[in-house]
Structure formats: structure tokens, C-alpha cells
């Protein structure tokens, strides 16, 4: 059984890789961080389709959070002032706004600094978070 949460991100996307590196240096989440391309997705209980669509936070018990809620959980894990921001991101209506902002950024990440054609999100259908 896993003892630490896992943050899964798109390792082929320059924007995602830069964002995760920034979070590791500044936020310092207490988790394992792995690109979905190098993760054992089956053991984590997630599909490649979902991992391509959004960042994922997998708890040691196997609960999966996606998108803005994955970011919130990552911030909560860091403790200190970051946990306050993470907690706020889980509350309605901030949660709803965060979801919209996350989707906007995710669907346009190829146009953002560090983004490339590999950053394009396949399909824009909603997944549960």
C-alpha cells in the first residue's frame, strides 16, 4: 500500500513540467510527483485518457482528484500558508471558479509560455474530479 499521495502530470508538456517544477521548489508538496508517461497508471487506478486530460492527485487510499482539486490537494499537503489557499480552493463557489480557470488554462496550455504542440489536451469532455 502506498504511504504518500502521488501528483500525476503531463511530462511531455513544457508548460506542465515547468508548473510542476515551480510548485516543487516554491510550494514543496508532501507527495511523490510523476509524469503520467512514467507512472504505473493501473496501480494508481487512473486511465491514460484521464491523465492526459488533467493533473491528478491520488491519495494513499486510492481516491483520485483531478484538475483544480488536484492542485488544491497538492497545496494542502504542503502545510503552512499554502494549506490555507488549498482549503479555499475546495470551497464553493471558489471551487467552481477554480475549475473553470483550470479548464481554460489546460485547454490553452499549448499557447502559454513553455507550451508546445505536445501540450494540446485531447478532447474537451468533462471528467469527474
Q: Is the pLDDT of residue 126 over 50?
A: no
The enclosing H or E element of 48 equals helix 48-53
How does strand 56-58 pair with strand 64-66?
antiparallel
78-124 pLDDT, tens digit per residue, is 999 999 999 999 999 999 999 999 999 998 887 776 656 566 655 54
| pLDDT attached to residue 2 | 85
Cell numbers representing residue 92 in the block? 464553493
> How far apart (Å, rounded) are the C-alpha atoms in residues 73 and 58?
9
| pLDDT attached to residue 27 | 97
Cell numbers representing residue 128 in the block? 469527474
117: left (phi over 0), alpha (psi -120 to 50) or beta: alpha
Annotated domain spans of the chain: 6-115
Amino acid at each position: 500500500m502506498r504511504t504518500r499521495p502521488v501528483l500525476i502530470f503531463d511530462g511531455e508538456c513544457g508548460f506542465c513540467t515547468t508548473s510542476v517544477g515551480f510548485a516543487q521548489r516554491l510550494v514543496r508538496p508532501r507527495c511523490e510527483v510523476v509524469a503520467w508517461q512514467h507512472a504505473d497508471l493501473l496501480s494508481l487506478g487512473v486511465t491514460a485518457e484521464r491523465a492526459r486530460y488533467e493533473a491528478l492527485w491520488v491519495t494513499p487510499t486510492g481516491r483520485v482528484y483531478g484538475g483544480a482539486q488536484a492542485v488544491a490537494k497538492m497545496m494542502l499537503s504542503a502545510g503552512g500558508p499554502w494549506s490555507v489557499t488549498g482549503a479555499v480552493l475546495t470551497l464553493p463557489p471558489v471551487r467552481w471558479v477554480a475549475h473553470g480557470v483550470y479548464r481554460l488554462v489546460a485547454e490553452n496550455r499549448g499557447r502559454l509560455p513553455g507550451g508546445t504542440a505536445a501540450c494540446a489536451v485531447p478532447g474537451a469532455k468533462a471528467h469527474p474530479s
